[in-house]
Amino acid sequence: MAAKNWTKETFTLNTGSKIPAIGLGTWQSQPNEVRNAVKVALQAGYRHIDTAFAYGNEAEVGEGIKDSGVPREDIWITTKLDNPWHKRVEEGINSSLKSLGVDYVDLYLMHWPSSTDPSDLKKHYPDWDFKDTWAEMQKLPASGRVKNIGVSNFAIKNLEKLFADERTKTTPAVNQIELHPNNPSPKLVDYCKEKGIHVTAYSCLGSTNSPLQSDKTLHKIAEAKGKSPSLVLLMWGLQRGTSVIPKSVTASRIQSNFELDGWELTDDEMKQLSSLPDRFKVCGDSWLPVKVFFGDDE
């Protein structure tokens, strides 16, 4: 079978919508750099941009989209409901749409299963949790302002809780979670697949200053393929059936991270990368008022 041209591939969600396999991440992309990064990415052929209210850069992301000249309807935009906004879902989406300068987003995610009290970010609401938030989010697609709804940072335990709630009528279209060879979470990925939830891999390069960038196994494979370690990490994510959203504000990296057509990793290379001995998460839950991770592969 011929290797895929991943830059043109999409994954079909349980709603029938098609999410482009490769997107540009924008966490920690500063307002003065993200506008250009988004423009460069879209002009290089990316058709999927991942942002969030919490990144503080939705307005600049929106400007970058306009600067690119690529029609809005050709672009997949994901943004996320921030934790202190769980009781204000309507307000949250309206604020994001206004900042982005668009009248709909393709995917709206609950950023974390933490309904944080906005008057004290160390506290969780006593009378509200993510199940209540989801009940509100389910109303959004009917308005046309949100094409798909999903979750992020949901472990199996919390997905089970969500499904057990009688108000849950909509299965999340996507669960966006941390995935890279130091945190491959095969059980969670398989669970989502079984339930018809598409998985997007965040921190797919191992995030900022990643130890993965100097991993020996990764380098050996990258050398053998004649590809950069970053490209090998992205191909690993794609071949597992997850969409990937590498972040960069560097034009040359944005462009080179998109060289994902016409080559592939062998089963053995995939296996080697999935079996690295070092296991850890980059994005923990210690900063949240509630525990959301329950092991390295929930």
Give the up-direction half-sphere exposure of residue 140: CA atoms within 13 A in the CB hemisphere. 31
Residue 176 is a binding residue for ligand NAP (CB under 6 A): yes
Q: How far is the CB of 125 from ligand NAP (least distance, A)?
A: 20
Nearest approach in angstroms of CB 206 to ligand NAP is 5
Answer yes or no whether residue 246 interacts with ligand NAP by CB under 6 A: yes
Residue 283 contacts ligand NAP per CB under 6 A: yes
Amino acid code (one letter) for 78: T
Distance CA 109, CA 121 (A): 20
Task: Report DSSP letters for 165-216, one per residue.
Answer: STT--S--SEEEEE-BTTB--HHHHHHHHHHT-EEEEESTT-STT-GGGG-H
- 276: contact with ligand NAP by CB under 6 A: no
Whole-number Å distance between alpha carbons of 29 and 247: 8
Quick count: other Cβ atoms within 10 Å of Cβ 120?
Answer: 10
The token pair at 237 is: 């994510």
Residue ranges for the known binding site for substrate are 111
Specify the residue, 150 or 269, whose C-beta has the smaller distance to ligand NAP: 150
Candidate segments 86-94, 124-132, 136-144, 199-207, binder of ligand NAP by CB under 6 A: 199-207
Measured from the CB of residue 245, what is the shortest distance to ligand NAP in angstroms? 5
Q: Does 202 bind ligand NAP (CB under 6 A)?
A: yes
Residue linked to tokens 């935009």 = 77
Q: Which is nearer to ligand NAP, 52 or 127 (CB)?
A: 52
Contacting ligand NAP (CB under 6 A), which of 63, 115, 247, 258?
247
State which residue, 28 or 167, has the beta carbon closest to ligand NAP.
28
Q: Does 125 bind ligand NAP (CB under 6 A)?
A: no
Query: SS3 of 130, please?
Result: helix
Give catalytic status of residue 125 as yes or no: no
- Long-range contacts made by residues 26-30, C-beta under 8 angstroms, separation at least 24? 26/50, 26/51, 26/52, 26/55, 26/57, 26/61, 26/247, 27/52, 27/55, 27/202, 27/247, 28/55, 28/208, 28/247, 29/55, 29/57, 29/247, 29/249, 30/57, 30/249
Residue 207 C-beta: closest distance to ligand NAP, Å? 4
Binding mask 90-119 for ligand NAP (x = CB under 6 A): ---------------------x--------
Binding mask 1-40 for ligand NAP (x = CB under 6 A): ------------------------xxxx------------
Positive or negative: CA dihedral 138, 139, 144, 146: negative
Q: Which positions are catalytic? A: 55
Binding-site ranges for ligand NAP (CB under 6 A): 25-28, 50, 111, 152-153, 176, 202-208, 228, 230, 245-250, 253, 256-257, 283
